[in-house]
Amino acid sequence: MGSTPSRSSGNIHARTETSSEPQFSAYFPKLFGILQSDTIPSILSGCEIMQEAYPEIEEQIYQVCKDELDEVIGKDVMDELISYGHCYLHILMVVYNCYTDERFQDLLPSHQNQLLWAALLHDIGKRGKPVFEGKDHIHPFRSAGIAMEIFVKTEFIQEKYKDKALELSEITLEAYKEIDCPKFKRKHRKNWDKMCQHCHDHSQLEKIFEYLKYVSQGDSFIINTFALVLFHQSIYGIKCYRPVVEISDEDIKKYIDPSTLDMYEIIMNADSHAYTIIGVDQVLVKKYKKEISKEIKRIKIEVFEQKKNKKSDHSNVDSR
């Protein structure tokens, strides 16, 4: 592995959005067309739980979009994801939930685009049986590492930065550690030997973002999409499903662009809702949504002081 890229001056989030970023609708026209149709509402209308909808999601969405998913994401990546269960269908529902969220239309067009990409890629590295049972605690970092490989393959990364981008992918994929939490181990002691016993490692964030700053050259599409995938389960949101590793306020201030916080709120809600009972548990859906919203609001006020300063002050974000 090569040396760490030299630190450039300025802020990782200093560059504004450009109209030249890869458009989700251009790379996934079939999927985008389905998002705009009544296909998914029709599928969900007769279901009480999400699992009941999976056969129709498979037939009417995945099979229709399979070729473009294989081409952009990679058939090998999709085949591995499919081998672990229904996660490949889950990610399609997260994309749909993001697109239909009432706050989606309030986002900047570039943020809408980045959010759809992040939703599609957020679990792309998720594993399950037969590797282990239960949750994959390192999948956000694995997914971000694979996302960077996809950005290289699709030439979203400039040619001269591709080698460093692949190093970034490797660093991110390897940024995990053994879970060292006695309380967590006690809670899961009966199935501990069968579970994922590792979690992502936030101590590697400085190195990861040094590389990201270098290989992205300030491209907000690369930065924001990668960060959304990386951190989609690091921010505390739902009380009964706390992250195994929570991101600190200090790291939020360093590595998350405050203008993207609404995107985090939407994708966290979309991810949760895609697992939730559809017909009979709307009270629970509203409860989770409220808890996530409360934490994002706290971050805006306490971390970025947006109550005092309505405009996002990017000079506060990691001016290393």
pLDDT tops 80 at residue 132: no
pLDDT tops 60 at residue 33: yes
pLDDT at position 18 is 46
pLDDT at position 175 is 82
pLDDT band at 28 (very low <50, low <70, confident <90, very high): very high
Instruction: Please name which of 21, 240, 1, 171 lies closest in space to residue 109, comparing C-alpha atoms.
Output: 21
DSSP label at 198?
Answer: E
* Least confident range of 3-7, 14-18, 84-88: 14-18
pLDDT at position 74 is 97
Give the pLDDT confidence of 80-117 residue by residue, as tens digits. 999 888 889 999 999 999 999 999 999 999 999 999 99
pLDDT band at 184 (very low <50, low <70, confident <90, very high): low
Share of the chain above pLDDT 70, in %: 78
DSSP lists the bridge partners of residue 137 as none
Cβ-Cβ contacts under 8 Å for 74 (sequence gap 6 or more): 150, 153
| Tally of CB atoms within 10 A around 231 | 27
* Least confident range of 78-87, 172-181, 218-227: 172-181
The residue ranges of every structural domain in the chain are: 24-316
